[in-house]
Chains A and B, each alone.
Chain A
């Protein structure tokens, strides 16, 4: 049965016009009775991992964050590493949809929807960590601008508080941006709906969109401005996250290059993740026609570019450490590359700087296997980048007597795995029930290029 459905992805799309075919090829994914078998496999896995997240958080609440390996002096470890990692991932979507939109990059339409969805899910994963990493995880709301029971306000000088605002704003705006983009496609789904339930649910979310030109007019204007707003926002979010470190006076954190360096890194990892997700998705759901190789290739080019930027940042850090002449900073960086955590450092360098260079070759850029391997490696590397920045700077700071070596516990691993569970669960649900490609935009694109026949 499932197999039959699986076949169905490859039947020619219905519809008597080009546009109709386009609609059908994208929307039938969401309308199919059953998703392909692969979806089930992936989903079971993802939900399992999600369960792990639930368990590890419950255990954390019950006993205390001591279940993690965090110690003195490395009081921040995987918790914040994961946070920064996920926020980084969350940068691709809005960047693609906003910046590329402003830059009028036609190829974005194929991937922006999925990318935005991924952004939102990634940011959700990120938002977990600031909440649970604190010692009394039942009190994170004390960081919000509401008076706590001591009638106090947050201390707005703290970069952690900036984070709260930056990330939550980013989440809200990305969500709106995504939803606004969805409205016309939801309307299409509503109008193609076969059952009342689907009709009602999609209808409710489409909010009665009927494609009136007067509405299109305001819609387009709103969308354009949202894009304009999101662009600086994307750049600001990871800059603010980098302030957590840059404004501290810890050698290895206290560097002015962090904001651009973090943003580049974020785009880098985000794009890698998008490709990692889309390659299997387009295979499963027969969207090869829509998400074409040229799109993926363009993505890989961006990865190559940002990867090189990140490499430049690494080099520059060392140069400044030497040129700045602060003995403490000098040591930190020397220690990073050759100290006890050298293994982590070189993993990071090879994954982020060396492997992406293979993208200079078109052959690699355009081979599915090649890009899958490299992009997964990039994600590994970017996780390590955050770990290296946080742990290696902390583990040997000013006073040698408090030097230490951080070792993760099983709960560190489980929590990280769990966060991936959440991410994949949400993404798979998205693939199943929402249009993975912005149909309306693609149609407009199509009509524009083929000039209405």
Chain B
């Protein structure tokens, strides 16, 4: 060529997308493709109803990286599966199963294999779609009726106007020479930008909106209060047909599943025929001594202190002077009905026989409730023992102290 021909600009209604050439046979397509390729075009493609052998070479398509992606997918699946099984059964919540090690590879191979394949396959499919830029709802070619045969029995070459080497006249000539049975202009498709038909777009929008409703309801339920109990469609074993303690049984008029103990019955181990130990009485009158069953020693004393701390201090106070928290609160509220707990270290109480004290602890006095059902007899005696000690300590005299105690006291004073 002596001088470069002047490029002619396209003049028409819509901007030109490119030129489309139609071929009748795969071989013709390959021939055409080679021509176009040799002319040094870049923005061009060929179309065929089925993969044409040799077209890759003819068009110079480079091998895709898809296989490498798939390899990556497979490896991810492998690691994920193995790692998860190890973590779930071996670390997070170990099961002791048939006396076997918490984790061992053989049992995990099947699942690992399956997930490897699964991930690889998913990558293969979606990777392919992504690389092919699918889905692609619209394309200028869709407007050319002839092109619909691209999925039937015809073969096409499309050279895009965007290619720097594109020149309408020359390219058309090139294509016509390349054995195309037909060449036509492909205008840009204005509609091709707006992907979806209106109607469908609305439908999709509505669906999207509707799909948020359940979440909204859930959120509302979480935030709002109700007196109704929560949903429990299938009860499974949440409520069993048996009576646990203190439950309700419609069979009885008082609707209690718990039945009262009958008059005169004696439960095993509750014969309690030692009146001294269990009633604090020795032939009829309150005992002045501790029962034989109660050892008077350090252990019992400590037990007594502990129990006293738990049951008595709230009202009677740490040292039994009747100034416990409950009392303080009651007085601060100026409760009219409040009967102040007695100071158990005072003379009056000191003279009460232990048997009577025991009886008081057991059955209560004035508005002090009985503790018989809460504190076992032995512990009640231990408490009495500790109370006695408290009383002693409040009324101790110098002679009651040992030598060095007196010493320290004097030095201290």
Contacts and interface: CB of A to CB of B under 8 A. Distances in A.
A17 B113 contact: no
Interface residues of A, number: 69
B236 interface: yes
A372 to B, nearest CB: 33
A376 interface: no
Interface stretch (A67-75, A117-125, A183-191, A405-413): A183-191
A7 interface: no
Interface of A: 15, 17, 19-20, 23, 136, 138, 145, 151-157, 159, 161-162, 165-166, 169, 172-173, 176-177, 179-180, 184, 187-188, 190-192, 200, 203-204, 207-222, 225-226, 229-230, 232-233, 236, 240, 243, 440-441, 443-444, 447-448, 452-453
Nearest to B135: A207
23 contacts: A138-B234, A156-B107, A162-B114, A165-B111, A166-B114, A169-B118, A173-B121, A176-B122, A177-B121, A184-B50, A207-B134, A207-B135, A210-B151, A211-B151, A213-B55, A213-B61, A216-B52, A216-B55, A217-B61, A226-B124, A230-B121, A440-B49, A447-B50
Nearest to A196: B197
Contacts of A243: 110
B128 A219 contact: yes
A227 B283 CA distance: 99
Nearest to A191: B148
B200 interface: yes
Most chain A Cβ neighbours within 10 Å, of B52, B113, B152, B236: B152
B330 to A, nearest CB: 46
A135 to B, nearest CB: 11
A233 B124 CA distance: 15
B47 A220 contact: no
A130 to B, nearest CB: 15
Contacts of B132: 212, 214-215, 218-219
B342 interface: no
Interface stretch (B90-98, B260-268, B313-321): B90-98
A441 B134 CA distance: 20
Contacts of B391: none
B129 A207 contact: yes
Contacts, number: 200
A15 B149 CA distance: 11
B115 interface: yes
B60 to A, nearest CB: 11
Q: Is the interface of B mostly helix, strand, loop or mixed?
A: helix
Interface in B11-29: 24-27
Contacts of A191: 148-152
Nearest to A215: B132
Given A188-B151, A207-B129, A213 B46 contact: yes
Given A210-B150, A226-B121, A217 B56 contact: yes
Contacts of B372: none
Contacts of B107: 156-157
In the A-B complex, list the 7 residue pairs whose CB atoms are closest, starting with the nearest: A207-B135, A208-B136, A222-B128, A153-B88, A19-B153, A444-B50, A191-B148
Given A151-B93, A213-B46, 20 more contacts: A17-B153, A19-B49, A20-B152, A23-B152, A138-B234, A156-B89, A156-B107, A157-B89, A169-B117, A176-B125, A184-B50, A191-B149, A191-B150, A191-B151, A210-B47, A213-B45, A216-B48, A217-B56, A218-B131, A222-B128
